């Protein structure tokens, strides 16, 4: 997908996915991946008050995608890109996972027609970053009869300390053995601003998982309701999906 000859796939992809190219910068593409990571026009994706010193407690979506939301318990198991994980397995770090019990797990599933760049949701600093290789091996008890094999996909995991939402983790999930993930800030102590681009998926990467600690955020009730009904909520990067938890009942968003 990085070769020049892969450009022949672009026109048919746009047509099949009915992608509105007027929303993207008008440039020539050197390969299919160059097209796949195309840059949206600034006015088409906006973070709330990102330029006004975060004068809001709103929580914005980090990316385009189909969103589901869950409360994290000791028994939580999530299906992500066809793989089963508990939080400890997802992070490959049980001690870190324990810090998020009672918190919130957001899963953004990106489809090929989505914008495949993603941004930081708050001001903050990177605490740690690591790559987690994919694995493929025998069945384990956690898998039901529907799953013949035990798979874990390639992940990149960033632990962040943020101004409004405290400590959180963002995990980008790629293909089984080849990540196709390009994170722009990865070093410990790297600082970032709300709305600043964090990275992008090339063809083969397509899910973002975000973990918030207990009492950090209140998610829109409608997103929980859709998740309970096995429905996903379609969101765009910058859409309001919740707010900083205030200790009061979660609000519904218009």
DSSP strand E in the chain: where? 58-60, 65-71, 78-80, 83-85, 104-109, 117-119, 124-132, 135-137, 150-152, 155-162, 166-173, 181-183, 191-192, 197-201, 207-212, 217-219, 233-235, 240-244
As annotated, the active-site residues are: 64, 206
Could you tell me the CA-to-CA distances from 17 to 14, 40, 109, 114 in Å, in that order?
A: 5, 16, 16, 10
Q: How far is residue 59's CA from residue 49's CA, in Å, rounded to a whole number?
A: 11
| Residues in CB range of 43: below 8 A, 6 or more apart | none
Asked if residue 50 lies in contact with residue 194, where contact means CB atoms within 8 angstroms, the answer is yes
């Amino acid at each position: 997908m990085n070769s020049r000859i892969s450009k022949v796939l672009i026109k048919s992809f746009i047509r099949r996915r009915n992608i509105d190219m007027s929303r993207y910068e008008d440039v020539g593409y050197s390969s299919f991946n160059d097209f796949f990571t195309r840059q949206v026009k600034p006015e088409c994706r906006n973070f709330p008050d990102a330029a006004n010193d975060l004068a809001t407690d709103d929580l914005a979506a980090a990316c385009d995608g189909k969103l589901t939301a869950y409360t994290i318990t000791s028994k939580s198991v999530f299906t992500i890109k066809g793989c089963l994980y508990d939080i400890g397995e997802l992070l490959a770090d049980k001690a870190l996972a324990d810090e998020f019990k009672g918190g919130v797990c957001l899963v953004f599933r990106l489809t090929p027609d989505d914008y495949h760049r993603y941004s930081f949701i708050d001001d903050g600093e990177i605490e740690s970053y690591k790559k987690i290789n994919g694995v493929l091996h025998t069945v384990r008890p956690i898998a039901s009869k529907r799953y013949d094999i035990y798979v874990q996909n390639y992940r990149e995991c960033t632990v962040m300390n943020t101004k409004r939402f405290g400590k959180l983790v963002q995990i980008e999930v790629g293909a089984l053995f080849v990540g196709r993930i390009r994170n722009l800030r990865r070093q410990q102590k790297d600082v970032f601003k709300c709305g600043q681009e964090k990275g992008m998926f090339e063809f083969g990467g397509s899910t973002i998982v975000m973990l918030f600690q207990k009492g950090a955020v209140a998610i829109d009730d409608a997103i929980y309701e859709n998740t309970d009904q096995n429905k996903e909520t379609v969101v765009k990067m910058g859409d309001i999906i919740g707010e900083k938890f205030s200790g009061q009942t979660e609000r519904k968003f218009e």
